[in-house]
Amino acid sequence: MYELEATGNVLVMTAQGKASIDRRHLEVAPAAPVADASRESNRAAESPESMIVRSVLAGDRDMFGQLYELYAPLVHGVLLARMPRSEVEDLVQDIFLHALRKLHTLRDTNAFGPWIAMIARNRAIDFHRRSRETVEVTDDLRSSDDSSVATTAEEILGIIRTLPDAYRETLVLRLVEGMTGPEIASRTGLTAASVRVNLHRGMKLLRAKLGFKEGLS
């Protein structure tokens, strides 16, 4: 019998370390100039992430590490909800390198999270278009030292991937990446209410597929 808390723990236990970015390959196009009249008002509405984006666009490559640390779990979770774990790690780095090269095209620096999440979703779609193969999720973690835990984790991920798109992405961000509801909302651009609904309905569906009875917490 699965326990809901154990479900999250098993998924987190088997999560692989996030890949690091080789900054030598990073080429960032310069940001478009901001009109002086609106600069102060824009700054007042800026989030910390937006200020980091602007710093990167201004040529401060060291700030890229902070941007990566903030959003790597989001990109990793978006991909993991849609494709096998073995394909995710390298693609996370590739997505960030692509996003940073195209950063000058981002019109709203406060919307970096939703923007890079959409890039990740599109890359997952491209992956499936190219592969045209059925992926057995139980093959993803066979190299793990604890094969029983690995199999259980991949079985759970396999079930999550059968859920509606919004539910599976939110569940992976919560259970695997360890993001809180407010963090998921701020990174994806969803409202807090939408995140709560996705988590509630998604967990209810997952509970049913794992054999939980109603009322069991």
Q: Domain map of the chain by residue range?
A: 4-16+61-209
The pLDDT value recorded for residue 33 is 47
Q: Could you give the CA distance from residue 194 to residue 182 in angstroms, rounded to a whole number?
A: 11
Q: What pLDDT does residue 210 have?
A: 84
Reported as a pLDDT band with limits 50, 70 and 90, residue 105 is: very high
Q: How confident is the model at residue 34 (pLDDT cuts 50, 70, 90)?
A: very low
- Percent of the chain surpassing pLDDT 90: 46
The pLDDT of residue 8: 56
Whether 17 shows a pLDDT value over 90: the answer reads no
CA distance 172 to 85: 12
Question: Rounded to the nearest 5 degrees, what angle is found at the Cα of 106, between the Cα atoms of 103 and 109?
Answer: 100
Give yes or no for residue 92 having a pLDDT over 80. Answer: yes
pLDDT confidence tier of residue 131, bands split at 50, 70 and 90: low
Considering only residues 37 and 96, tell me which one the structure prediction assigns the higher pLDDT. Answer: 96
pLDDT over 80 at 205, yes or no: yes
Whole-number mean pLDDT of the chain?
77
Provide the pLDDT for residue 65. 87
